[in-house]
Amino acid sequence: MGWWSLFPDPHLSVSLPLSLLLSSLALILALGIAAFFLEYVRKIGCRHSLERTADSDSFFEDPNSLKKVPCPSICDPAEKYISLIIPAFNEEHRLPGALIETMNYLQQRSTVEKSFSYEVLIVDDGSTDRTSKVAFDFVRKYKIDNVRVILLGRNHGKGEAIRKGMLHSRGELLLMLDADGATKVTDLEKLETQIHALAKMNKELNSSAATPNGLSLKLSDIEVAAFGSRAHLEKQALATRKWYRNFLMKGFHLVVLLTAGPGIRDTQCGFKMFTRAAARKLFTNIRLKRWCFDVELVYLCKHLGIPMVEVSVTWSEIPGSKVRLTSIIHMLFELILIRLGYGLGIWKIHT
């Protein structure tokens, strides 16, 4: 044994504590991230519980009579055949064209079909431009029985704007559509046809089902959802988008598949229709307020047993999109929340 063996290797004495320190820091960081996600998920659950029991907006503003019109609830019986819910955030330029096209279609159809009644709900999600003025101009023109405006005060996100509109609608059928008019409003007939077909099938499978009064189920009582889809345009989109956007979108679709499962290829199309009963279950349960509420809707439909159908729609790119590359990161964050919230049982599904 040489004299040098009496002294420890200085490199060994440093490397062991350093590796231990790095491992400890990595563990602390991982636990910190996990704790952050769990606390965030818990807070969303608590906030949702409060929103379910809190009083919501009580009145609509009528700019013509200056009177307040009582705000209906999704729990009330349907008063219209269809409600169209349009979320709007800083849409003063794109909203007028979409609303003109929408109102022209609805008026023409109501003239031909006497039983066809409608309402349009514009939900201003805290806009800082003249969106609310544009919306109220249409209320003045078409009257508050046909066009209504909900003002959220501050920006909450597209998911929350649609949730508010759904919960205050009067239709047997409820359609959400974007303020830019990217999907032709006439395509609602495609979704409507599929809704009726699914509802009829549901009735036949449950022919003995009846209301407490002994009457057969109405369309509004049957739970069905129809999702507009741009999946048939995927090849064209891949050819025109930059490679990194395609890479990010492919990655996002993979995570969506792992989160919500197969069945709906295009979860993000803003053109979706629900029966009143389906909307009542879905939008009293939904938690996410921004980008990935669409994915949560698919997840909830599966876990609540609500039949879904995907329907190809006409779609065109409209300048002024608010989706940025950073939005993808936020979407991935929300997908993690879905997995944690429902997977760990922190978010309870109310039936």
Name the residue among 42, 30, 149 with its Cα closest to residue 91: 149
Write down the residue that tokens 């990595």 correspond to: 26
Mean pLDDT of 315-342: 76
Of 2-11, 210-219, 220-229, 337-346, the range with the lowest mean pLDDT is 2-11
For residue range 282-291, list pLDDT tens digits in order.
999 999 998 7
229 neighbors 263 (Cβ within 8 angstroms):
no
The percentage of the chain sitting over the pLDDT mark of 90, rounded to a whole number, equals 50
Please tell me which residue, 326 or 121, carries the higher pLDDT value. Answer: 121
pLDDT number for residue 51: 57
pLDDT number for residue 12: 46
Q: Is residue 189's pLDDT more than 50?
A: yes
Cα Rg of the chain (Å, integer)? 25
For residue range 25-40, list pLDDT tens digits in order.
776 766 666 666 556 5
Q: Is residue 57's pLDDT more than 70?
A: no
Q: Is residue 85's pLDDT more than 60?
A: yes
Query: CA dihedral defined by 344, 272, 76, 101, rounded to 10 degrees?
Result: 150
Query: What pLDDT band is residue 242 in, cutting at 50, 70 and 90?
Result: low
Query: What pLDDT band is residue 55 in, cutting at 50, 70 and 90?
Result: very low
Burial class (CB in 10 A: 0-12, 13-18, 19+), 52: exposed
Q: Is residue 6's pLDDT more than 50?
A: no
For residue range 259-309, list pLDDT tens digits in order.
777 888 888 899 999 999 999 999 999 999 987 899 999 999 999 999 999
pLDDT number for residue 14: 46
In the chain, the amino acid numbered 113 is: E
Full 3-state SS string of the chain:
CCHHHHCCCHHHHHHHHHHHHHHHHHHHHHHHHHHHHHHHHHHHHHHHHHHHHCCCCCEEECCCCCCEEECCCCCCCCCEEEEEEEEECCCCCCHHHHHHHHHHHHHHHHHHCCCCCEEEEEEECCCCCCHHHHHHHHHHHHCCCCEEEEECCCCCCHHHHHHHHHHCCCEEEEEECCCCCCECHHHHHHHHHHHHHHHHHHHHHCCCCECCCCCECCHHHCCCEEEEECHHHHHHHHHHCCHHHHHHHHHHHHHHHHHHCCCCCCCCCCCEEEEHHHHHHHHCCCCCCCCCHHHHHHHHHHHHCCCEEEEECCECCCCCCCCCHHHHHHHHHHHHHHHHHHHCCCCCCCC
Kindly report the length of the chain. Answer: 351
pLDDT number for residue 7: 47
Write down the residue that tokens 């009064």 correspond to: 213
252 neighbors 332 (Cβ within 8 angstroms):
yes
Name the residue among 242, 267, 247 with its Cα closest to residue 257: 267
The reported pTM is 0.81
Query: What pLDDT band is residue 325 in, cutting at 50, 70 and 90?
Result: low
For residue range 106-144, list pLDDT tens digits in order.
999 999 999 999 999 999 999 999 999 999 999 999 999
For residue range 88-107, list pLDDT tens digits in order.
999 999 999 999 999 999 99
Q: Report the C-alpha gap between 182 and 152 in whole angstroms.
A: 24
